[in-house]
Chains A and B, each alone.
Chain A
Amino acid sequence: MTTEPRFLIVDDFSTMRRIVRNLLKEIGFANAEEAEDGVAALNLLKSSKFDFVVSDINMPNMDGFALLKSVRADENLKGIPFLMVTAEAKKEDIVNAAQNGANGYIVKPFTKATLEEKVQKIMQKLG
């Protein structure tokens, strides 16, 4: 029996968290929690089991890059798929995300099809 994957949506804008949550629900992933920055996300990740992280980059307290590095440096969390969804479109940011272990990168504004494609692709790749 396979359990439904649990997502963590990290974004400082509640509107965007809600949009991503609704989109994930539409594409078949209704099990999701939210965090408003990297610190809150890391606390949730360490206290509860998640199967997928969808994170913004530009956030107060701890940004998406710092969160990604913390996740990859943690023995218990390093295997979690990590998808960046951000307005940052600079090449160096995209390269930085990839070099630090992000599994995907979506630039805002995006479509439902793009999110679905990236999530499915990451899930298939990581089994």
Chain B
Amino acid sequence: MGHTDGFIKNDAATAPAPDADELAAWGAAALDADAPAAAPAPAVSGLPAPAAGGADAGTAAAAPPEEIFHRIGQLTRTLHDAIRELGYHEDLSDARDNLPDARDRLAYIARLTGDAAEKVLNSVDRARNVQDEMSGRALGLRTRWAAVAAYTAGGDRATPAGAALVDETCAFLSSLAQQAESTNAILTEIMMAQDFHDLTGQVIRKVVSLATVLEEQLVKLLIDTTPGEQRKKVEVSALEGPVVNPESRTDVVSDQAGVDDLLASLGF
């Protein structure tokens, strides 16, 4: 995959397509390499058995759909047999059993990052309200001090020190309002940074979807290859990290209150 002008470009789309002869030769070679050396594979019910030695390059290009389905059937059967004979069904079983846990953990990450983003947004809103109030009050005071300055400037009560203090106070109040604007701009940046939750959440959702499909396929494969009595229970590790689905379990607590209640019930 390459990138051009900010867009994802599929290199495969621009590569010259192989012609029919090339595809036929490639397909035949691949099948020949995987096929048993001499004995023909058993026929799938209702379909004719292939010739010994696999298809040759000259006939592969014109292979009828029945022939293709037959070959796929052979490969599937060979794969099932190999998995069973080599004992890989146990690995498959482990993989299948671990997928729901992986999904839960991803959902846990999504929930925690979402909660964190919400907390940041709440804090930004509160900080912005404080800024707005401070800015408003500063502007109000500045207006009043400006009136005082105008009054004292021409009067007998004016003193150099007092006039300077009024000017300085007015300048400070003005700068306070400007600083509040700067702070609000920073708060906007902090708020915008929380869009990571949306973006990472979408990725997590796709991975979870992929894991679900994978799990379904593994279950089907296991049904075909594993005798029921050989299935084993997954051992639960002693330390499993944060609990990602406390509501579905009775052996864990869901929050600190649960911890405190449990300790209190034990007399601590």
**Number of B residues contacting the other chain (C-beta, 8 Å)?**
19
Residue B50 CB within 8 A of the other chain: no
Residue A58 CB within 8 A of the other chain: yes
Within residues 186 to 206 of chain B, which ones have a CB less than 8 A from any CB in chain A?
Answer: 188, 191-192, 194-199, 201-202
Residue B7 CB within 8 A of the other chain: yes
Chain B, Cβ-Cβ closest to A26: B188
Q: Cα distance A22–B121 when bound, in Å? A: 10
A-B contact count (CB 8 A): 53
Chain A residues with Cβ below 8 Å from B8 are 89-90
Chain B residues with Cβ below 8 Å from A16 are 195, 197-198
Q: Is the interface of B mostly helix, strand, loop or mixed?
A: helix
Chain B residues with Cβ below 8 Å from A15 are 114, 117-118, 121, 194-195, 197-198
The reply to whether A112 and B192 form a contact with Cβ atoms under 8 Å apart is: yes
Within residues 108 to 131 of chain B, which ones have a CB less than 8 A from any CB in chain A?
Answer: 114, 117-118, 121, 125
The reply to whether B195 and A109 form a contact with Cβ atoms under 8 Å apart is: yes
Residue in contact with B202 in the complex, picked from A58, A90, A91, A112, CB distance below 8 Å: A58
The reply to whether A111 and B198 form a contact with Cβ atoms under 8 Å apart is: no
Q: Cα distance A91–B13 when bound, in Å? A: 14
Residue A11 CB within 8 A of the other chain: yes
Chain A residues with Cβ below 8 Å from B192 are 19, 23, 109, 111-112
Chain B residues with Cβ below 8 Å from A112 are 188, 192
CB distance from B256 to the nearest CB of A (A): 25
Q: Mask for B1-18, Cβ within 8 A of A = 1, else 0?
A: 000001110000000000
The reply to whether B198 and A11 form a contact with Cβ atoms under 8 Å apart is: yes
Known: A19-B191, A19-B194. A108 touches B199 (CB 8 A): yes
Residue A31 CB within 8 A of the other chain: no
Q: Cα distance A58–B191 when bound, in Å? A: 22
Residue A66 CB within 8 A of the other chain: no
CB distance from A34 to the nearest CB of B (A): 14
Residue in contact with A13 in the complex, picked from B6, B125, B198, CB distance below 8 Å: B198
Chain A, Cβ-Cβ closest to B124: A22
Chain B, Cβ-Cβ closest to A13: B198
Q: Cα distance A39–B199 when bound, in Å? A: 22
Residue A73 CB within 8 A of the other chain: no
Q: Cα distance A87–B198 when bound, in Å? A: 9
Residues of B within 8 A of A (CB): 6-8, 114, 117-118, 121, 125, 188, 191-192, 194-199, 201-202
Q: Would you list 20 pairs from A and B whose C-beta atoms are within 8 A, ordered by A residue?
A: A13-B201, A15-B117, A15-B118, A15-B121, A15-B194, A15-B198, A16-B195, A16-B197, A19-B191, A19-B194, A22-B121, A22-B188, A23-B188, A89-B6, A89-B7, A108-B198, A109-B195, A109-B196, A109-B199, A110-B195
Residues of A within 8 A of B (CB): 11, 13-16, 18-19, 22-23, 26, 58, 87, 89-91, 108-112
A11-B198, A15-B114, A23-B192 known, 11 other contacts, Cβ within 8 Å: A15-B118, A18-B118, A18-B121, A19-B121, A19-B191, A23-B188, A89-B6, A89-B8, A91-B7, A109-B196, A112-B192
